[in-house]
Amino acid sequence: MESLVLERQHELSLRDFPIEGEETLGPRDVRIKLHTVGICGSDVHYYTHGRIGPFVVNAPMILGHEASGTVTEIGAEVTTLAVGDRVCMEPGVPDPNSRATRMGMYNVDPAVRFWATPPVHGILRPSCVHPEAFTFRLPDNVSFAEAAMVEPLAVGVHAATKARIRPGDRALVLGAGPIGLVTALSALAGGCAEVFVADLDAAKLEIAAGLSPAIRTIDVSRDDPAGTVLKATDGWGCEVVFEATGSAKAAAGVFAPLCPGGVVVMIGGQPEPISYDAGAAMVREARVENIFRYAHVFPRCVAMLASGAIDVKPLITRTFDFSESVRAFEVAASAPKGDVKMQIELPQ
Ligand SMILES: [Zn+2]
């Protein structure tokens, strides 16, 4: 089927890719006609760098893992989904019998197969087969575009969950990219009174400020995040700091704006080992949480989109036709200012 294929670093093509033979519909699988696929920073990174850490693109690979679509066929033992259901999909499928999965931490199962992580193909193609257990039905009032945002939103909701936010907490999010912004929305949905969002890109901060009156932006080119937060909190600091830049420099300063007993959640991927200020963590008795993708949060994300508790629509800044996929990736790789999430729509 026609697919967006990363042939090798810097080379994409939209071409027929014979993947059908690899995909048989098992008794607990569904076949899905894809509708909308978001372009993720990781997809772009594979395109521009050919690898992410230990995951190297050694053979042509179909990109894409943030998706929504419609069920077109169900396996013999599927009970919760029917043909015609609109759905979104969790892209990582673990080994159901692994030790990590049995402990409930299926996202850190070493055997997890995750779309568009070599050697597993992604879903920038007309259809795919996926387990019922990782496919979630959408209410009528959640659009395909919003549903394709559930995957990145899940990262923010998982981060907010691990922070164990209490009502009225104040949070600082370092980074106003897609993940930083979904984290800010998740922190507010989790009960934060106020969320500071810090970035260098004024256009992204403008989008952040428009998301909620409870979001305050910090332009890092002018103001120091820790100084701003301390000033706004009478010197106390905020209860939660989310590191969503993946920059070693930002990570080095995560404890400065944190209040005593606060929590830092490390979200951004760090390509190299980094150092952080353990002394500053110690005098605060800071808790540090790390997250890897997410677990158990897709139904929560869908429920919040349906109820209006979270609105991701302002984050979707550009939509391309599937036929323009290669250009969409070139645009995404150029990281235009003011663009948050770009999506690709497949022909229906
Ligand atoms: Zn993603």
| CATH number, residue 168 | 3.40.50.720
Q: If you measure from the C-alpha of residue 256 to the centroid of ligand 1, how many angstroms do you get, rounded to a whole number?
A: 29
Q: If you measure from the C-alpha of residue 39 to the centroid of ligand 1, how many angstroms do you get, rounded to a whole number?
A: 7
Contact 179, 156 (CB under 8 A): yes
What pLDDT sits at residue 20? 72
Q: Same structural domain for residues 103 and 231?
A: no
> For the chain, what is the largest distance between any 2 Cα atoms, rounded to a whole number of angstroms?
63
Does residue 272 lie in a domain region? yes
- Quickly state the pLDDT bin for 208 (edges 50, 70, 90): very high
Does residue 297 lie in a domain region? no
Does residue 295 lie in a domain region? no
Does residue 223 lie in a domain region? yes
The helix/strand/coil state of 310 is coil
User: Domain containing 47 — which CATH number?
Assistant: 3.90.180.10
Residue 19: is its pLDDT beyond 90? no
Which positions ≥6 away from 222 have C-beta within 8 Å?
none
Q: If you measure from the C-alpha of residue 317 to the centroid of ligand 1, how many angstroms do you get, rounded to a whole number?
A: 16
Residue 2: is its pLDDT beyond 90? yes
Residues 72-95: tens digit of each pLDDT: 999 999 999 999 999 999 999 999
Contact 238, 258 (CB under 8 A): yes
Residue 164: is its pLDDT beyond 80? yes
Q: Same structural domain for residues 229 and 336?
A: no
**Helices H, strands E: what count in the chain?**
11, 20
Does residue 39 lie in a domain region? yes
The helix/strand/coil state of 194 is strand
Residue 181: is its pLDDT beyond 80? yes
Q: If you measure from the C-alpha of residue 259 to the centroid of ligand 1, how many angstroms do you get, rounded to a whole number?
A: 31
- Quickly state the pLDDT bin for 53 (edges 50, 70, 90): confident
Does residue 296 lie in a domain region? no
- Quickly state the pLDDT bin for 328 (edges 50, 70, 90): very high
| pLDDT average, residue stretch 249-264 | 97
Q: Same structural domain for residues 72 and 133?
A: yes
| pLDDT average, residue stretch 144-160 | 98
Q: If you measure from the C-alpha of residue 1 to the centroid of ligand 1, how many angstroms do you get, rounded to a whole number?
A: 23
Residue 337: is its pLDDT beyond 90? no
pTM across the whole model: 0.97
**How many folded domains does the chain comprise?**
2
Please give the Cα distance from 82 to 74 (Å, whole number): 7
How far from each other are the two terminal CA atoms of the chain, in whole angstroms? 14
Q: If you measure from the C-alpha of residue 236 to the centroid of ligand 1, how many angstroms do you get, rounded to a whole number?
A: 34
Residue 317: is its pLDDT beyond 80? yes
Q: Same structural domain for residues 123 and 32?
A: yes
Q: If you measure from the C-alpha of residue 143 to the centroid of ligand 1, how many angstroms do you get, rounded to a whole number?
A: 18
Residue 271: is its pLDDT beyond 90? no
Q: Same structural domain for residues 145 and 9?
A: yes
Structure tokens at 274: 């980094």
Residue 294: is its pLDDT beyond 90? yes
Q: Same structural domain for residues 183 and 76?
A: no
Q: Same structural domain for residues 10 and 68?
A: yes
Quote the domain boundaries for residue 207. 156-290
Beta bridge partners of 32: 71, 128
Q: Same structural domain for residues 160 and 145?
A: no
Which positions ≥6 away from 278 have C-beta within 8 Å?
none
Q: Same structural domain for residues 249 and 215?
A: yes
Q: Same structural domain for residues 9 and 26?
A: yes
What pLDDT sits at residue 237? 98
Q: If you measure from the C-alpha of residue 241 to the centroid of ligand 1, how many angstroms do you get, rounded to a whole number?
A: 21
Q: If you measure from the C-alpha of residue 91 to the centroid of ligand 1, how many angstroms do you get, rounded to a whole number?
A: 9
Does residue 331 lie in a domain region? yes
Residue labelled with tokens 């948050």: 340
Contact 265, 291 (CB under 8 A): yes
Does residue 230 lie in a domain region? yes
Residue labelled with tokens 């169900």: 74
Average pLDDT in the chain: 96
| pLDDT average, residue stretch 46-59 | 94
What pLDDT sits at residue 144? 98
Q: Same structural domain for residues 142 and 10?
A: yes
Residues 98-143: tens digit of each pLDDT: 999 999 999 999 999 999 999 999 999 999 999 999 999 999 999 9
Q: Same structural domain for residues 330 and 228?
A: no
Angle at CA of residue 282, ends 279 and 283, nearest 5°: 95
| Burial group, residue 340, by CB count within 10 angstroms (0-12, 13-18, 19+) | buried
Residue 21: is its pLDDT beyond 90? no
For the chain, give the percent of residues with pLDDT over 70.
100
| pLDDT average, residue stretch 254-262 | 98
